Amino acid sequence: MIELRTPAEIEQMRPAGRFVAETLATLKDETKVGTNLLDIDRRAHDMIRAAGAESCYIDYHPSFGAMPFGKVICTSINDAVLHGLPFDYNLRDGDLVTLDFAASVDGWVADSAVSFVVGTPRDEDLRIIETTERALDAAIAAAVPGNRIGDISAAIAAVAHGDGYAINTDFGGHGVGRTMHGDPHVPNDGRAGRGYPLKAGLVLALEPWLLQTTDKLFTDPDGWTLRSTDGSRGAHSEHTIAITADGPIILTDRSGL
């Protein structure tokens, strides 16, 4: 069921968005060559406890997960692009890292992701990260009353295809509110003018993600981590936004942090 939020409820969602944004900004700043993925998870867990927030991941067990996730943040490295289950791994020079984090504050959820390189970057890694970020900007710009879900999907696809990337539509954006995943689904490719009409009060997590040379995934033996079938690397950018009559509000904005 698609739910619309009142202006007062959108205001109540701001603390969750701010907490998720601040957590990701802190973790990105602290993540270096040599950082262990389990330490990132522990740090995120400490921040959740300190804020009186709740994890959206630790007990999460959808049909595509082999078991409850058991951690509080997704850490996807290199050829992993989504749902990366933290494990005992020390980051190496040049690793492409995606941190995807969702939490609940006072009963409201926010969800966001960021990709970056630790140490010496490859040009192709910086390029795919920048493409996902521009695709996210285009998606947010299209998230206005009077447009449709397809307009958001088409905006993402125009940027991705324009840069030569293929798009997988198995996983994409989604509604956010009292729970992490709700209706509507927002594919990262679609036709403008199609789909559910966008209305003020709709809150969405928009999340372009791409792989360098494929759009095919497989599930790692850990039962969660999604990797490219050809070993190429991936990037993922995500924000939780609220659609309003005055334009979209980026609830997980990190630009001032």
Tell me whether residue 253 is annotated as binding: no
83 labeled binding residue: yes
Residue 62 φ/ψ, nearest 5 degrees: -75, 175
Tell me the sheet residues that pair with 97: 77, 116
Is 189 a known ligand-binding residue? no
Is 236 flagged in the annotation as binding?
no
46 annotated as a binding-site residue: no
Question: Was 22 annotated as part of a binding site?
Answer: no
Tell me phi and psi for residue 228, to 5 degrees.
Answer: -70, 145
Sign of CA dihedral 68, 73, 78, 80: positive
Q: If you ran DSSP here, which 8-state letter would residue 176 be given?
A: -
Q: Which amino acid is at 241?
A: I
User: Does 54 show up as a binding residue in the annotation?
Assistant: no
Nearest to 118 by CA among 73, 71, 77: 77
Helix (H) or strand (E) holding 82: strand 80-82
* Residue 120 CA: distances (Å) to CA of 33, 54, 92, 97: 10, 35, 10, 13
Residue count (the chain): 257
- Which residues are annotated as part of the binding site for a divalent metal cation? 100, 111, 174, 207, 238
User: Binding site membership for substrate: which residues?
Assistant: 83, 181
Annotated binding-site residues read 83, 100, 111, 174, 181, 207, 238
